[in-house]
Homo-oligomer: A and B are copies of this chain.
Amino acid sequence: MRLRLDLSYDGSAFHGWAIQPGLRTVQGELEAAIATVLRLDARAALTVAGRTDTGVHARGQVAHVDLDDVDPAVLARRLRRLLPTDVVVRSVSAAPEGFNARFSALERRYVYRFCDGVPDPLTRNAVVATARPLDVAAMNAAADHLLGEHDFASFCRRREGATTIRTLRELSSVRVGGIIEITVRADAFCHSMVRSLMGALVAVGEGRCEPRWAGEIVAAQARDPRITVMPAHGLTLEEVIYPPDHLVAVRAEEARRRRDEP
């Protein structure tokens, strides 16, 4: 029986999602808690939609796990009682036929948060202060050069045999109170891509680069020293979007094929 887990976590005290020996990770905490609750001899392996780096948060993370004879609601309640307060199991449900938390996803939505005024100490774990005021209109002009399908090699750590072509569906900045919220949506992201995109937007927002420079960076397909990988703690995985239940298997097939293209 495949279960879907919807999760939130404060990434501050985790060495990211992926399990690592001797380090506190979200996957490690969750798999240990599931093993305790169900009295399993071996850990039940979780598959996740977005493998978040150290310090990155999530409000809408999704994972799946295969388990026998489990009442989803009971498991959710027991996990909530057992887990520390920085990771919350929002819900556990029976996954539709063919569902895969990673490959069935149509889209990941992240939000990065900057503050360019006086910082609020109550949100400092999830908001990054900038040195100068941000020009949100200029950031949105720069984003226009980045939207759509591109080879994002300039924004990624290259991995042998994997494509860096991605489709960026949204990259929009908006000022909400004292916070600049930048929403990023894509089918998938390469490693460090979102935080590098943020580095490019901040360079434009602070007036160090012109908006059209963002287009030149993509076209160059090579890292530019003016792009900083922005700090992890400004980033939150807000949502993973899946197709309707009868299409999750088809989508998983398709994504698996595309991800293997060189």
Using a CB–CB cutoff of 8 Å, the interface residues on chain A facing chain B are: 8-10, 57, 59, 85-88, 90-91, 118-122, 124-126, 236
* B8-A88 in contact (CB<8A): no
Q: A8-B122, A9-B121, A122-B125 are in contact. List 19 more A-B contacts (CB 8 A).
A: A8-B120, A8-B121, A10-B121, A10-B122, A10-B124, A59-B120, A59-B122, A85-B119, A85-B121, A85-B124, A86-B121, A86-B124, A87-B121, A88-B118, A88-B119, A88-B120, A88-B121, A90-B118, A122-B236
Identify 15 residue pairs between A and B in the complex whose beta-carbon atoms are under 8 Å apart, listed by A's number: A8-B118, A8-B120, A8-B121, A8-B122, A10-B121, A10-B122, A57-B121, A59-B120, A85-B119, A85-B124, A86-B121, A88-B120, A88-B121, A90-B118, A122-B126
In the bound complex, residues from chain B placing their C-beta under 8 Å from that of A91 are 118
Shortest Cβ distance from A236 into B: residue = B122
Complex: how many Å from CA A236 to CA B123?
Answer: 13
Complex: how many Å from CA A86 to CA B124?
Answer: 8
Complex: how many Å from CA A57 to CA B120?
Answer: 11
Q: How far in angstroms is the closest Cβ of chain B from A125?
A: 7
Q: Among the interface residues A85, A119, A122, which one has the most CB atoms of the partner chain B within 10 A?
A: A122
In the bound complex, residues from chain B placing their C-beta under 8 Å from that of A87 are 121
Ranked nearest first, the 3 interchain pairs of A and B with the lowest CB-CB distance are A10-B121, A90-B118, A86-B121
Complex: how many Å from CA A8 to CA B9?
Answer: 25
In the bound complex, residues from chain B placing their C-beta under 8 Å from that of A88 are 118-121
Shortest Cβ distance from A88 into B: residue = B121
